[in-house]
Amino acid sequence: MPPILSGPFAEADAALQRFLDKGAACYEARRNFDYGPTNRNNVSELSKFISHRVLFEYDVAQRALAQHPPKVVDKFIQEVFWRIYWKGWLEHRPAVWNDYVAFDHDTIPERRFQQAVTGKTGIDCFDYWSTELQNTNYLHNHARMWFASIWIFTLGLPWQSGARFFMQHLFDGDAASNTLGWRWVAGIQTIGKHYVARNSNIEQFTNGRFSPHNLNETPLPVVSSKTYDIMPINDGAKYQKKYNKLIVLENDLYVKSKNEFEAYDAVFVLRPDSNVRSADLSGQVTDFKMGLVSAFCENHANAQDIDAAGLGALAARQQGFDVVYPAIGDHLDFLYRLRDESGAALHLLKRPEDVFCWHYAKKGFFNFKKHIPDMMSFAR
């Protein structure tokens, strides 16, 4: 029996249906245009729900295909699967995340950084997006690329500080998508291939809203000599109960059926706690995530929210927990610290759909997307 939807879960379901009814048919033709925050009917705006798995990527794709021919929603489905791909790519290269987290933010040029985050660089589009991000906790994907390019190549700021700024303010901030997206713009994700924000492109795809003339349009890519070995993915534990208590992180709140969680004596959902993060979240982002956590707990009688300190104290008295695997990022780092400090075992439950897809993420997305039909079949 599927869970009854309420609160933000019902809101997400309604938003998906609204997009499928009114936006999906023209998505491919119009998706690259950023018309501004008051006109988003050319994009789905589902990312804040998908990134927390309030909407499950595989279900989103299946519903799109149930309502439209494949050729109509193919590009939309590919965009949904980019998130799965990025996670899989990072699972194969965990050291990329470790290096990003280890970056020393005290070394950045403070004056230029403050100008960037307060929207006072004098570059009208960039300053607008900096303010929009902090006010709405969202940026159009094209604007994110332009913003990152200007941050790195015109303002001369390190990509790591920009990625951190995004994670602090985006409702849909995701460790893999955000980190690797900034690396791609810089030119170190695909070595030597960087993304350059150009006046003509910005003017065209903002529909004339902006036309900046003070951009560095001839930069060299960021140079990095660091290479990363491809590590085999541990398929993890079978998705079966081992312990009587379950830990859920806010970036994976998907429940296939209520029976899945009702078998546990207790389900602990970690609050969006600053002690878990490599970057402090803004108040709006914290409140949004806490709203999702609270709604989840209201929908499950045996679920309760808990902060990092409370979970640490509980873990010290437990033999072990089952854990819905959160993928590489801040949450997994926290779980490993919890395990090491408390001595409690962690039975990591990796979703079979994810593991199946991640095995195709060793190379580029072009190779990955060829297997999307197989992934969809597996996930049914």
SS3 letters for 272-326?
A: CCHHHCCCCCCHHHHHHHHHHHHHHHHHCCCEEEECHHHHHHHHCCCCEEEEECC
Structure tokens at 376: 């969809």
**Do 12 and 65 have their domain in common?**
yes
Nearest CA among 260, 258, 256 for reference residue 240:
260
Domain co-membership, 344 together with 365: no
Is residue 236 domain-resident? no
Regarding whether 337 and 375 lie in a shared domain, the answer is no
Q: What is the number of alpha carbons within 13 Å of residue 177 lying toward its C-beta?
A: 23
Is 235 part of a structural domain of the chain? no
Closest CA to 206 of 272, 145, 278, 271: 145
For residue 12, the domain's CATH number is: 1.25.40
Closest CA to 183 of 298, 90, 251: 90
Q: How confident is the model at residue 1 (pLDDT cuts 50, 70, 90)?
A: very low
- Tokens standing for residue 200: 């003509």
Span 59-72, average pLDDT: 97
The pLDDT score that the predictor gives to residue 3 is: 59
Decide if pLDDT at 86 tops 80.
Answer: yes
Q: How many whole angstroms separate alpha carbon 202 and alpha carbon 200?
A: 6
Same domain? For 367 and 330 the reply is: no
In a domain, 225, yes or no: no
Indicate whether 113 and 83 sit together in one domain: no
The C-alpha atoms of residue 227 and residue 233 are separated, in whole angstroms, by: 18
Q: Does 336 lie in the same domain as 369?
A: no
Output the CA torsion sign for 88, 270, 172, 324. Answer: positive
Tell me the whole-structure pTM to 2 decimals. Answer: 0.96
By three-state DSSP, how is residue 201 classified?
Answer: helix
What is residue 157's predicted lDDT score, i.e. its pLDDT?
98
Query: Phi, psi at residue 47, to the nearest 5°?
Result: -60, -35
Q: Say yes or no: 183 and 152 in one domain.
A: yes
Let me know: does 215 contact 292? Beta carbons within 8 Å: no
Is it the case that residue 59 has pLDDT exceeding 70?
yes
Task: Tell whether 233 is covered by a domain.
Answer: no
Looking at the structure, do residues 258 and 343 belong to the same domain, yes or no? yes
Task: Give the pLDDT of residue 2.
Answer: 55
Do residues 114 and 201 share a domain?
Answer: yes
What is the pLDDT at residue 237? 65
Region of poorest pLDDT, from 72-76, 231-235, 344-348, 365-369: 231-235
The mean pLDDT value of the chain amounts to: 95
% of the chain residues with pLDDT over 70: 98
- Report how far residue 156's alpha carbon sits from residue 108's, in angstroms, rounded to the nearest whole number: 10
Domain assignment present for 253: yes
Its domain, for residue 319, covers 245-349
Q: Is 224 among the domain residues?
A: no
Q: Are residues 124 and 180 in the same domain?
A: yes
- Does 213 map to a domain? no
Arithmetic mean of pLDDT, 40-67:
97
Residue 99 maps to a domain: no
pLDDT tens string 260-288: 888 999 999 999 987 889 999 999 999 99
109, 131: one domain: yes
Domain count, the chain: 3
- CATH number of domain containing 313: 3.40.50.620
6 pLDDT band, cuts 50/70/90, is: confident
Tell me the mean pLDDT in the region 8-12.
Answer: 96
Work out the end-to-end distance of the chain between its first and last CA atoms, rounded to an integer number of angstroms.
Answer: 16
Q: Taking the CA atoms of the chain, what radius of gyration do you get in angstroms? A: 21
